[in-house]
Chains A and B, each alone.
Chain A
Amino acid sequence: MSKKLNRIIFIQSIIGLLIAIYVFQSFVRQSPIVCVNGGCELVRKSPYSYFFGFFPVPGVGLFGYAFMMVLSFLRTTSNNRKLLYGILGMAAFGVLFVTWFTYTEIFLIKGICTWCALSAVNMYLILILALKSYFLEKNKK
């Protein structure tokens, strides 16, 4: 079961990584984002979407998903629980982050970026699966 959960986390991390790369490159190149609504452009052009005025928010997702992808890969080579804790910690941080950013989108930017919303859902799912893996591992004791 834990193996299956790790596979799902791995695939979700890759999906999240691809989304993050796509949105990140649009931020860096200042090019339009394909979007089902007009929200992606509102978000891309908002100062709230850049840390310290220059670092694009999707860069955080890119790092987070890449980190979880590597850890879930490493879990196929080792039973070290620290790898799972790493995923769990990053997913928990990710959930806090996407929650904060979704709040920022709705109340400050007043626009929703479809990709960010998809990424937020993805991150919540990863956290749920990581927690499930954690309890499965814990019960193995």
Chain B
Amino acid sequence: MKITGETKLFAGIIIATLLIIGIGVVIYSRPAPTYTREELIPVGTVTKGNKDASTYLVEFSDFQCPSCKLFKDAVSELTDKYKDKLFYAFRHYPLQQHQEAQKAAAAVEAAGAQGKFWEMHNWLFDNQDKLTDKAIEEEAGKIGLDKKIFLEDLSSGKYNDKINKDITDGQKLGISATPTFFLNGQKLELFSVDELKKAVEKAIGK
């Protein structure tokens, strides 16, 4: 066996590779951070269910995101079924590539100011491919909103700060896609609606 400069170079590369793998193992072995309820649900966040429930679910969502639409019914089912055992919070995370998402987020907040958050929320998801100003305005009328106030709220940008805070918080929490759920402070890695149901039911103890 001859030890050449090439051998030393290769050995160095192998050691560097092993170091990279070691660092990767350490990083991936770290437990996921747990966030407090106050961190995830700031004052003013729209919520559903029992606020004293020990299980809380926070969703960061985008009205133009098809996956968020898929999860919408599952969330409704869970919040209806476990209204005493689950506290749910809805937060905004309109993605930049969705041109109508920011406007839709403002519309739902404006509807919420008149007590019709969930009505507008459901309509926005059900019609996420046709979120024009006209369609939203028409829907505001249909669900019984005072259109004048609704439109004033939208044009004044009254809810921009709230939506932007949600986005900033989402970025700090490491959100990269929507919907992202946090269950009892821990980020969920979900690939199906069933996984969300199972995780929530497990946390509740069902």
Q: Which residues of A contact B (CB under 8 A)?
A: 3, 7, 10-11, 14, 17-18, 21-22, 25, 29, 31-32, 41, 45, 69, 72-73, 76-78
Chain A residues with CB below 8 A from B189, complex form:
31-32
Chain A residues with CB below 8 A from B28, complex form:
25, 29, 31
Q: Which residues of B contact A (CB under 8 A)?
A: 1-4, 6-7, 9-11, 13-14, 17, 20-21, 24, 28, 189, 191
Other-chain contact of B7, A11, A17, A21, A73 (Cβ < 8 Å): A73
In the A-B complex, the 5 residue pairs with the closest CB atoms: A76-B7, A76-B6, A73-B10, A77-B1, A32-B189
The answer to whether A18 touches B17 (Cβ under 8 A) is yes
Chain B residues with CB below 8 A from A21, complex form:
21, 24
B200 to chain A, nearest CB (A): 18
**SS of B interface (majority):** helix
A73-B14, A76-B4 given; A18·B20 CB < 8 A: yes
Residue pairs across A and B with Cβ atoms less than 8 A apart, 16 shown, are A3-B6, A11-B13, A14-B14, A14-B17, A17-B17, A18-B20, A21-B21, A31-B28, A31-B189, A41-B191, A45-B191, A69-B14, A76-B6, A76-B10, A77-B1, A77-B2
A32-B189, A32-B191, A77-B3 given; A18·B14 CB < 8 A: no
Chain A residues with CB below 8 A from B21, complex form:
18, 21
Other-chain contact of B2, A3, A31, A78 (Cβ < 8 Å): A78
Other-chain contact of B4, A7, A18, A31, A77 (Cβ < 8 Å): A77
A-B pairs with beta carbons under 8 A, tally? 41
A17 to B16, CA, bound (A): 13
A18-B20, A69-B14 given; A78·B1 CB < 8 A: yes
Q: Which of A18, A22, A45, A73 has the most CB of B within 10 A?
A: A73
Chain B residues with CB below 8 A from A32, complex form:
189, 191
Chain A residues with CB below 8 A from B7, complex form:
73, 76-77
A41 to B177, CA, bound (A): 15
Nearest B residue (CB) for A80 = B1
The answer to whether B13 touches A14 (Cβ under 8 A) is yes
Q: Which of A14, A31, A72 has the most CB of B within 10 A?
A: A14
Chain B residues with CB below 8 A from A25, complex form:
28
Nearest A residue (CB) for B16 = A14
A41 to B28, CA, bound (A): 18
Given A31-B189, A32-B191, A78-B2, 15 more A-B residue pairs with CB atoms under 8 Å apart are A10-B10, A14-B13, A18-B20, A21-B24, A41-B191, A72-B10, A73-B14, A76-B7, A76-B9, A76-B10, A77-B1, A77-B2, A77-B3, A77-B4, A78-B1
